Amino acid sequence: MADKKKLLLLDGSSLAFRSFYGLLDLNRFKNQNGLHTNALYAFNRILTRLFEVEQPTHMLVAFDAGKTTFRTEYFKEYKGGRQTMPSELAEQWPYFSVLIEAMGSKTYELPNYEADDIIGTYARMAEEQGFDVVIITGDKDLTQLATDQTRVDITVKGVSELKSYTPESIREEMGIEPLQIIDMKGLMGDSSDNYPGVTKVGEKTALKLLKEYGSIENLYEHVDEMKKSKMKENLINDKELAFMSKKLATIDLATPVSYSLDELIVTDENKEELVSFYREMNFNTFLRDLDHTEEDVSDSFEKITYTHLDEITEAHFTNDMALYVEMLEDNYHYGTIVSVAWGDANTIYTASPETVKASIPFKEWAANEEMKKAVYDAKRTQVILHYAGITLNGIHFDTLLASYIINTKDTGRDIAAVAQEYGYTEVSYDETVYGKGAKQAVPEDADIVNEHLARKIKAIQTLRPQLEAEFEKDNLTELYYEIELPLALILAEMEMTGITVEPARLEKMKVEFAARLTEMEKGIYTEAGEEFNVNSPKQLSIILFEKMGLPVIKKTKTGYSTAVDVLEKLSATAPIAQMILDYRQLAKLQSTYVEGLLKYIKPETGKIHTIYTQTLTQTGRLSSNEPNLQNIPVRMEEGRKIRQAFVPSHPDWQIFASDYSQIELRVLAHISEDAHMKEAFIEEQDIHTSTAMRVFGIEDEAEVTGNVRRQAKAVNFGIVYGISDYGLSQNLGISRPEAKTFIDTYFEKYPGIKQFMTDIVEEAKEKGFVETLFHRRRYLPDINSSNFNLRSFAERTAINSPIQGTAADILKIAMIRMNKALKEKNMKTRMLLQVHDELIFECPPEEIEVLEKLVPEIMENAVSLSVPLLVDSHYGNSWYEAK
């Protein structure tokens, strides 16, 4: 039997817009003639993926023809008030059809009709002939077309992620049939299409009404029977609007289209046209992907020359070379070197790890501070070489770190991705050379590896001037050379030093926890009346909500939620809920911390070596992994005991820890210049108590109870996160209006904070990014999005990132100064860990006295703000005791 026919219908206009905003990097995506290409680039990616995933037999991309349509005839404001298309998108518009047709599909537009109507018409036509139909769009209105044969996929974020709508999923999510979407729209209106609906009726109310009455028509037949209410009045007053809005939302299924279905058959891609299109747009990766299907990878590269050395001499080194050490494993504390490459603009050398390790000239060059080196990932390179017995000094440029500083989205391990972004395409992806997953392997032919590395050397050299130019342009030079690059080397030292963890202590806990977990399981089984896997949220929810019939409090995407807040609510009536909470807590400790950490202790040294990722977070913080030492339990006593296993590496030594008190709020006080918040810090008041007094109008400090202070604390946290009344109400377990009152009063009492929030969002909307005190940037492409969720998220991020980021900058500076001071004073103390606002050291007892003054002094004076910074220090025989 032949495969079933499948028609793929794309809303070209909607996807083009989303492509444009989803990849809003106008500087980078330009062709040789200065034409912007970002939307075309993203659109190409969707098309390629859709062909691959959907494998349609028939396809059409529909576009809106123009502003006037049959809808504007009876409501002239329809889609009014829309911003005009940005010129950067308009200039790309003519090329969409070129691309689509080269790929083997047709495009279509029809005067007076929207893309929706074309799509609806063809969908119905195809269904009648037994096709499967898939519709791709960014417009939720099209879900009205979903049937058993037709699936509607809506873009969620940008264009890369799609959410599928079928009649069942619509029923499940909204409790109505696809066709009732039209009635829903009629009642609630649509602000982006600019039609009104009924006053004060939104999605929730509309759904409620539809569940009761089924349709707008039926609703108005029974409107007189409704109880007297404001809503009833609104319904009656806006009756005409409701019917008109419904008409506007209804997709025309009998549009006079001209192609027959047979004419929509997908044809083979027109390779010649595609090649010339990609050339014109400077889409080198896509060009390469086209080649891949026929030719060998390296054939599309320019030739590169390099020399493989079996014996290395001093003549093979000069000042200012690039260096790359290849290792496939992510965790470089345990990996094996594959090969090494270095060179300058004229000459590139490669050598085997054995040759390099045995070479005195190489070691001397590597250790020589005067011989400058450029690398990709300085920290990684330095640690790898350290394990090979080679000290690496004189690193003056790190391509990876540089690209991350310029754009925090560049976090990758693969140099090819970064290189490509800056227009250098003469280097393969690691995946291409080594494969991935289980199939990953070093090619037998050593020349393949060495040529690959030679190209990486070339990439490092080619990229550097471009990256430096970006630094100058964006005022990032100081952040890079004074903070990030020196920090990379300090983090390398910390990782290599590691922290001693006593396995015996953890083993003991493991046995005890295992026994207790078995006991707890038994209790839970008894309560449930059967055995099941408590660790499975799915099995658990069946027991709780289906078998035991407990009330459902919250749902997840896939079923019932069994998260902490839910179980806490249930625990009032069902003892099993509390038992599960206790079980979960202990199971977490056992799997992640006891067993998890044991796996990472190096038997030879008894130490754990984490890896700090310096190029990952969007705010400038570090992250820690394999294992994560930034989330070792502390809030609950039971978990906190894990810290007893973290001890100094010498007998009698101490663990010394210093943390900033309220650094984020102090940063906020500084950047917002809010008088009251500044005053609280300058006068060394307890900030949460001070907030409580102002917000709740308490005169006497003694009258601030624990509970009131707790609420004020939650408000302060909320402020830093970009507050919402809903979030605060959830956090405090109070009603939304109550939360709103707190926030309103807060803004009244701290007008500077309110002003800061308005200003920073405004600034983000204008510039497209926000920055920290030290000019670290975070781009916010969604800040002007028409999608409420995306935009709101970006707005909260605009508020939070400069605060969190500046705090991160400050601790980074403190780390650099601290490292310097320890060296200058010839101290034995070692910096071991960084946990966002605290530093952890190990030290001999005789240095405690010095540290107690030195660490706070350096941390408190790392920067000078308009409010003081305050540091608390503690020490003891283990991390647990340093509290």
The residues in 165-224 that bind DNA, with binding defined as CB under 7 A, are: 191, 200-205
Cβ neighbours, 10 Å, residue 638: 13
Q: What distance in Å separates the CA atoms of residue 340 and residue 352, rounded to the nearest whole number? A: 6
39 vs 859, beta carbon nearer DNA: 859
Of positions 37, 69, 155, 617, contacts DNA by CB under 7 A:
617
Q: Which is nearer to DNA, 617 or 829 (CB)?
A: 617
Give the nearer residue to DNA in terms of CB position, either 70 or 726.
726
Cis peptide before 627 (omega within 30 of 0): yes
Rule CB under 7 A: is residue 561 a binding residue for DNA? yes
Q: How far is the CA of 468 from the CAs of 299, 448, 478, 510, in angstroms?
A: 31, 31, 11, 51
Reading the block at residue 781, the tokens are 């492409």
Cβ-based nearer residue to DNA, 147 or 578:
578
For residue 812, give the nearest of 484, 489, 395 by alpha carbon: 484
CB 570 → DNA: shortest distance, Å?
12
Q: How far is CA 688 from CA 662, 694, 696, 706, 728, in A?
A: 10, 10, 12, 10, 15
Site for DNA in 769-828 (CB under 7 A): 788-789, 792-793, 796-797, 800-801, 804
Distances in whole angstroms, Cα of residue 136 to Cα of each of 117, 156, 322, 808: 14, 11, 46, 42
Q: Which is nearer to DNA, 196 or 718 (CB)?
A: 718
Nearer CB in complex with DNA: 281/780: 780
C-alpha–C-alpha distance, residues 808 and 41, integer Å: 35
Q: What DSSP state is assigned to residue 195?
A: B
Distance CA 201, CA 34 (A): 47
Beta carbon of residue 75, minimum distance to DNA (angstroms, whole number) = 19
Binding of residue 838 to DNA (CB under 7 A): yes
Q: Which of 214, 503, 596, 876 binds DNA (CB under 7 A)?
A: 596
- Per CB under 7 A, the list member of 147, 166, 585, 689 interacting with DNA is 585
Q: Does 599 bind DNA (CB under 7 A)?
A: yes
Pick the closer one to DNA by CB: 267 or 536: 536
578 touching DNA, by CB under 7 A: no
Q: CB-wise, 153 or 847, nearer to DNA?
A: 153
Hey, is 412 helix, strand or coil?
coil
End-to-end, the C-alpha distance of the chain in Å comes to: 73
Which segment (166-174, 387-395, 584-592, 699-707) binds DNA by CB under 7 A?
A: 584-592
Return all residues near 517 (Cβ < 8 A) that are at least 6 apart: 583, 586, 587, 590
> Residues 691 to 750: which contact DNA by CB under 7 A?
714-715, 717-718, 721-728, 730-731
Q: Which of residues 57-76 bind DNA (CB under 7 A)?
A: none
Question: Which residues make beta-bridge pairs with 154?
Answer: 137, 163
- Which residues neighbour 309 within 8 Å (Cβ) at sequence distance 6 or greater? 316, 349, 350, 351, 355
Residue 617 structure tokens? 């977070």
Closer residue to DNA, CB minimum distance, 276 or 440: 440
On the question of a cis peptide bond just before residue 737, with omega within 30 degrees of 0, the verdict is no
Task: Provide, rounded to whole angstroms, the least separation between the CB of residue 425 and DNA.
Answer: 25
**Piece in contact with DNA (CB under 7 A), picked from 89-97, 151-159, 480-488, 625-633:** 625-633
- Enclosing H/E stretch for 526: helix 503-528
Residue with Cβ nearer DNA (109 or 595): 595
* 836 is a contact residue toward DNA (CB under 7 A): yes
Binds DNA (CB under 7 A): choice among 613, 614, 691, 772: 613
**Binders in 630-659 for DNA, by CB under 7 A:** 630-636, 639-640
Cα separations (Å) of 545 from 528, 541, 559, 567? 11, 6, 10, 12
Residue type, 453: L
The CA distance from 239 to 289, in Å, is 56
- Here the tokens at position 714 are 């939650």
Select from 66-74, 484-492, 518-526, 583-591 the region that touches DNA (CB under 7 A).
Answer: 583-591
Q: Shortest distance, CB of residue 192 to DNA, whole angstroms?
A: 10
- Token readout for 828 is 């034995």
Residues 231-290, interacting with DNA (CB under 7 A): none
Length of the chain: 883
Beta bridge partners of 608: 499
Q: Mask: binding to DNA, 454-473, rule CB under 7 A, as x and -?
A: --------------------
The span from the CA of 614 to the CA of 488, in Å, is 7
What is the nearest approach in angstroms of DNA to the Cβ of residue 793? 5
- Considering only residues 532-551, where is the footprint of DNA by CB under 7 A? 533, 535-539, 541
Task: Give the tokens for residue 764.
Answer: 């983000």
DSSP structural state of residue 483: I
| Site membership for DNA, residue 143 (CB under 7 A) | no
CA dist., res. 135 & res. 112, Å (int):
21
Is residue 605 a contact residue for DNA (CB under 7 A)? no
**Contacts of DNA in 414-433 (CB under 7 A):** none
For the CB of residue 544, give the shortest distance to DNA in the complex, in Å.
10
Among the listed ranges 52-60, 85-93, 281-289, 610-618, the one in contact with DNA (CB under 7 A) is: 610-618
Minimum Å distance from CB 189 to DNA?
9
| Segment near DNA (CB under 7 A); pick from 108-116, 359-367, 592-600, 759-767 | 592-600
The nearer residue to DNA, 261 or 517, going by C-beta atoms, is 517
Beta bridge partners of 657: 840, 874
Name the segment binding DNA (CB under 7 A); options: 371-379, 612-620, 700-708, 872-880. Answer: 612-620
Binding window for DNA (CB under 7 A); candidates: 238-246, 398-406, 586-594, 875-883: 586-594
Nearer to DNA, 584 or 777 (CB): 584
Q: Which two tokens stand for residue 821?
A: 């001071």
Give the amino acid at 661.
S
Least CB distance from residue 792 to DNA, whole Å?
5
Among 562, 654, 772, 819, binds DNA (CB under 7 A): 562
Burial class (CB in 10 A: 0-12, 13-18, 19+), 57: middle
Residue 439 found at the interface with DNA (CB under 7 A): no
DSSP conformational letter for 266: P
Nearest distance, CB of residue 717 and DNA, angstroms: 5
Q: Report the b/e string of 782-813 with b at 16+ CB within 10 A.
A: bbbbebeebbebbbbbbbbbbbbbbbbbbbbb
Binding-residue total with DNA (CB under 7 A): 81
Ranges within 477-536 binding DNA (CB under 7 A): 533, 535-536
Contact yes or no for 795/721 (Cβ under 8 A): no
The region of 53-61, 368-376, 417-425, 619-627 touching DNA under the rule CB under 7 A is 619-627
Strands (E) across 372-526 are located at 373-375, 395-398, 499-501
Q: Which is nearer to DNA, 290 or 616 (CB)?
A: 616
Closest approach, Cβ 176 to DNA, in A, equals 13
Task: Select from 95-103, 282-290, 363-371, 579-587 the region that touches DNA (CB under 7 A).
Answer: 579-587
Q: How far is the CB of 716 from DNA (least distance, A)?
A: 8
- Interaction residues for DNA, span 26-45 (CB under 7 A): none
Q: Which is nearer to DNA, 393 or 592 (CB)?
A: 592
Instruction: State the residue for tokens 């394990």.
Output: 387
Comparing CB distances to DNA, the nearer of 393 and 792 is 792
What tokens were used for 736? 């939304």
Assess 558 for contact with DNA (CB under 7 A): yes
